[in-house]
Amino acid sequence: MAVTDQPRSYAIRTYGCQMNEHDSERIAGLLEADGLVLADSDESADVVVFNTCCIRENADNKFYGHLGRFKTLKEERPDMEIIVSGCLAQKDRDQIAARAGHVDVVVGTHNVHRAVELLHESRRNGPITEIWDEALDDEATFPSALAVRREVDWSAWVTIQVGCDNTCAYCIVPAVRGREISRPFGELLTEVERLSADGVREITLLGQNVNSYGRDLTSARRSLEPSSEDAAIVGAQWLDDRRARPLFADLLAAVSNIDGIDRVRFTSPHPKDLREDTIAAMASNPSVCPHLHFPLQSGSDRVLALMHRGYTAERYLEKLAAARAGIEDLAVTTDIIVGYPGETEEDFERTLEVTAAAEYDSAYTFIFSPREGTEAADMVDQFCDPAAVADRFDRLRVVVERSALAKHMARIGRTETIIVEGPSKRDPEVLSGRTSQNKLVHFRSDRPLRSGTLATALITDASPHFLRGELVEVLSVSRHRTRFAVTAG
């Protein structure tokens, strides 16, 4: 390695969901603690991290394509070091080093905290692949409890639960993220208090199935005698409550009552586990945003059963109606899979019907992708014809966009509270902000506004994917300082 006065620099490419985004912040925190600085570009970085996803095949392909391009770069600059982390690393393990000899470190989802140590080890002993089958200690289990370099200063992700105990037949997540483990209640509150003191005004609680948060905590603690240590883990108020029950509603209420936290978001709740107490907690705590991401996956009961989703279309719509009745002005978004093995035209029509009935504000729609090791991947003889699937995908988009546009048009003329995110990607003259319903608003302002500023905007125009507006008033400027590394936990 060349010795220069310049600190070494790093870049991270993140694929996949917010879990991975958050893990990337932890890896950035570890690298900065090791003396590295953020690079101007991926290509110029001394250490490049690929934090990978394997939810669908195109996620795999995208990563391997990018990694291939870095082979030439590394030949030109042998000093460059490459780390591959995340879900695809967990899934493909030794295959990554076998396919790409230019990778220095392969690290999985259960040992992210080891990334920098492994990098040091690889400098001494050559390329290294280290994958754990499960998290072996708290540091490994609870990502938020590490040094973090947050991507945004005024908004933070807080992992409340890792892993997933569900068995959706198409999904690779349980295999790569392990069983569901909830993070201690008291610890979460301490972390959010600390984030608030640092100027964070928006918190997003993260988990694959947030509604079951705490189920394992109470059951694990049932047989123990109360002690102050237990109180920190399950929360003092549950010490006499020995039943295994989810605590998500209590967590929502507690987090939203922390001073300085204006907005609380969460993702994702599983429809089978959405309970009345969660709806009530959303309704009665004004800082909990009126937005529910409510993944439908399919509108056909037959397909839902094949997927092991644990609800019927009717039950789903009932829960949605209860949420809309309880929470004023609720925005609802969803995930839908098209072309699940065995999906008939009739099944798909049910999906169109439920989608229309649910009147979504937006939807992520996916074409089924077989993931090796999952039940659905073995249903090869029932895979759908790709041309039929492409046609269904387009028809579904039309239905989603129809309700999205109607929802957005209905907001024209209203004044919405937004948090400013920064200049819009397309036009630096235009600023973008987000409403509590998580809608993007593009607006012009005659003065620059710092990201994180709370303001109001009059909505003047709408499209299926965003709103346009005019700045009305600045309510409070952002409290956050300049960028800094936070040590939480």
**CA-to-CA distance for 315 and 477, rounded, in angstroms?**
43
Write out the H or E segment, with its range, that includes residue 327.
none
Part of the chain binding ligand SAH (CB under 6 A), chosen from 120-128, 131-139, 166-174, 445-453:
166-174
Part of the chain binding ligand SAH (CB under 6 A), chosen from 151-159, 165-173, 443-451, 470-478:
165-173
3-state SS, one letter per residue, for 134-158: CCCCHHHHCHHHCEECCCCCCEEEE
Angle at 357 between CA 300 and CA 337, to 5 degrees: 40
Give me the least distance between CB of 149 and ligand SF4, in Å please: 26
Q: Which of residues 87-146 bind ligand F3S (CB under 6 A)?
A: 87
Quick one: which of 316, 348, 368, 443 contacts ligand SAH (CB under 6 A)?
A: 368
Angle at 131 between CA 126 and CA 132, to 5 degrees: 140
Site string for ligand SAH, 267-286 (x = CB under 6 A): -x-x----------------
Closer residue to ligand SF4 (CB): 164 or 384: 164
Here the tokens at position 242 are: 């020995």
Site string for ligand F3S, 156-175 (x = CB under 6 A): ----------------xx--
Closer residue to ligand SAH (CB): 317 or 472: 317
Closer residue to ligand F3S (CB): 176 or 431: 176
Closer residue to ligand F3S (CB): 140 or 313: 140
- Per partner kind, with CB cut-offs from 5 to 8 A, the member of ligand F3S, ligand SF4, ligand SAH, none near residue 369 is ligand SAH
- Per partner kind, with CB cut-offs from 5 to 8 A, the member of ligand SAH, ligand F3S, ligand SF4, none near residue 174 is ligand SF4
Quick one: which of 221, 371, 411, 468 contacts ligand SAH (CB under 6 A)?
A: 371
Quick one: which of 20, 52, 161, 208 contacts ligand SAH (CB under 6 A)?
A: 208
Report the candidate in 11, 23, 3, 142 with the shortest Cα–Cα distance to residue 73: 11
Give me the least distance between CB of 56 and ligand F3S, in Å please: 8
Strands (E) across 340-439 are located at 362-367, 415-423, 430-435
Contact 459, 487 (CB under 8 A): no
Does 383 bind ligand SAH (CB under 6 A)? Our answer is no
Residues 6 or more apart whose CB falls under 8 angstroms from that of 55 comprise: 16, 17, 87, 171, 172, 173, 369, 371
Quick one: which of 22, 150, 177, 309 contacts ligand F3S (CB under 6 A)?
A: 177
Does 337 bind ligand SAH (CB under 6 A)? Our answer is yes
Quick one: which of 29, 143, 295, 433 contacts ligand SAH (CB under 6 A)?
A: 295
Closer residue to ligand SAH (CB): 174 or 226: 174
Does 366 bind ligand SAH (CB under 6 A)? Our answer is yes
Here the tokens at position 295 are: 């993944």
**Separate counts of helices (H) and strands (E) for the chain:** 16, 21
C-alpha distances (whole Å) from 357 to each of 209, 302, 314, 392 are 24, 18, 11, 18
Report the candidate in 443, 339, 355 with the shortest Cα–Cα distance to residue 403: 355
Does 377 bind ligand F3S (CB under 6 A)? Our answer is no
Report the candidate in 274, 339, 352 with the shortest Cα–Cα distance to residue 306: 339
Based on the number of CB atoms within 10 Å of its own CB, is 400 exposed (0-12), middle (13-18) or buried (19 or more)? buried
- How many other C-beta atoms can be found within 10 angstroms of the C-beta atom of residue 474? 15
**CA-to-CA distance for 489 and 393, rounded, in angstroms?**
44
Closer residue to ligand SAH (CB): 132 or 366: 366
Query: Which residues make up the interface to ligand SAH (CB under 6 A)?
Result: 55-56, 170-171, 173, 208-209, 268, 270, 295, 297, 335, 337, 366, 368-369, 371
Binding site for ligand F3S (CB under 6 A): 16-17, 19-20, 53-55, 86-87, 172-173, 176-177
